[in-house]
């Protein structure tokens, strides 16, 4: 089959728009051919646990799955009884972008909290952490945080630890949606373990697709008491791949060396470059009315534009409105975003302002 799209064209809507990293495709080719036992009894899935242990330590349990929504649903489902509830930020992916899957498929109640920067704190958690023993209220038993957050901010290790200690003090557990965990670790220049297991996270959804995988994520259980039944829940929720070796092989390619870090650092650097170029033009008075609504700490930029500018830029580049009422937009960079892409995007923004 011939390519049906222009492979030189880069967008700024989502890191999900990017293709698979060439090293990941090489890993898929290496894992292909011949027969391997299905449903996770293959040598690649066995090797994957060893690779994850090299990052997070021994005594963990790893469950590769198809996608991030599936990872979040079964991870949270395994942490809760039927009457349990999850406290999370109102911007969280599990609340905004998963079409009610945690509640409809997972059978749990979400208790959402407004935040200024996408990050929960012990004080914010306490606005919903109450009512234990009240049969009229879904019991808050898990807190879920996202790293990096949906608005591109990053929790430090100390911030995660403060939340974990607070949550555990109340007998609750801590879940992390790590769809962009690599970008967070790269931003903080710390090992993956420092902002997850060592900081008190109990269960994590480990993201791969946004960092160069064709498909595939994983649920990682750090504490034995945190999760039950994942072996059965993965199948029951249609997240167990028969040819699981092809998810495992991709994650091995990402994590066995430093591909995860190289790709995340590059995406973050391109976001910083874009923010820097625009900041410079604002200082020169060339982009009147352009402002930024969040700190740029990973690979996302949140900006507010004057009326009409976003649509003019979208004549050349696709990206999403974050809040159409306030003209707030989100621009994302990926592992394959280049400086030339940044130059072209900045030129399109300048042209839109000039128009």
Domain co-membership, 203 together with 328: no
Kindly state whether residues 320 and 190 are assigned to the same domain: no
Specify if 12 maps to a domain.
no
Do 215 and 166 sit in the same domain of this protein? yes
The parent domain of residue 168 ranges over: 21-257
Q: How many CB atoms lie within 10 A of CB 311?
A: 11
Check residue 224 and give its pLDDT. Answer: 81
Domain-ending residue, one of 239, 257, 275: 257
Average pLDDT rounded to a whole number, residues 187-205: 98
Mean pLDDT within 274-292: 97
Residues 246 and 308 in one domain: no
**One domain, residues 45 and 117:** yes
Which residues have C-beta within 8 Å of that of residue 280, sequence separation ≥ 6? Answer: none
Please state the rounded mean pLDDT for residues 107-121: 98
| End residue of a domain, out of 257, 280, 302 | 257
Residue 136 and residue 238 in one domain: yes
The rounded mean pLDDT for the chain is 97
Query: Residue range 268-288: average pLDDT?
Result: 97
CATH number for the domain including 339?
Answer: 3.90.1150.10
- Is residue 300 predicted with pLDDT exceeding 90? yes
State the total domains in the chain: 2
Q: What is the pLDDT of residues 53-106, one digit of tens each?
A: 999 999 999 999 999 999 999 999 999 999 999 999 999 999 999 999 999 999
């Amino acid at each position: 089959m011939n390519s049906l799209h222009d492979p030189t064209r880069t967008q700024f809507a989502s890191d999900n728009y990017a293709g698979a990293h060439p090293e990941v495709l090489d890993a898929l080719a290496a894992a292909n051919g011949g027969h391997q036992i299905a449903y996770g009894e293959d040598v690649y899935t066995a090797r994957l646990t060893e690779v994850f242990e090299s990052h997070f330590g021994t005594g963990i349990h790893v469950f590769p799955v198809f996608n991030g929504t599936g990872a979040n649903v079964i991870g949270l489902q395994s942490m809760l009884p039927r009457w349990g509830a999850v406290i999370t930020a109102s911007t969280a992916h599990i609340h905004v972008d998963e079409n009610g899957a945690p509640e409809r498929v997972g059978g749990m109640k979400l208790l959402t909290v407004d935040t200024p920067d996408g990050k929960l704190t012990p004080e914010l958690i306490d606005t919903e952490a109450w009512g234990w023993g009240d049969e009229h209220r879904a019991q808050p038993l898990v807190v879920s945080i996202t790293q990096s957050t949906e608005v591109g901010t990053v929790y430090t290790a100390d911030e995660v630890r403060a939340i974990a200690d607070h949550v555990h003090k109340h007998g609750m557990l801590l879940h992390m949606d790590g769809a962009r965990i690599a970008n967070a670790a790269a931003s903080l220049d710390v090992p993956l373990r420092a902002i997850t297991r060592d900081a008190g996270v109990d269960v994590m959804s480990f993201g791969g697709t946004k960092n160069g995988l064709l498909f595939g994520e994983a649920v990682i259980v750090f504490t034995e008491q945190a999760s039950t039944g994942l072996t059965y829940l993965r199948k029951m929720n249609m997240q167990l791949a028969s040819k699981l070796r092809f998810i495992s092989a991709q994650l091995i390619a990402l994590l066995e060396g430093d591909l995860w870090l190289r790709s995340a650092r590059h995406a973050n650097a391109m976001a910083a470059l874009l923010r820097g170029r625009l900041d410079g033009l604002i200082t020169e008075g060339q982009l009147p009315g352009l402002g930024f609504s969040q700190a740029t700490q990973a690979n996302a930029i949140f900006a507010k534009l004057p009326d009409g500018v976003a649509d003019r830029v979208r004549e050349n580049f696709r990206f999403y409105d974050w809040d159409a009422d306030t003209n707030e937009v989100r621009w994302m960079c990926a592992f394959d975003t280049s400086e030339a892409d940044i130059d072209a995007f900045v030129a399109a923004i300048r042209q839109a302002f000039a128009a």
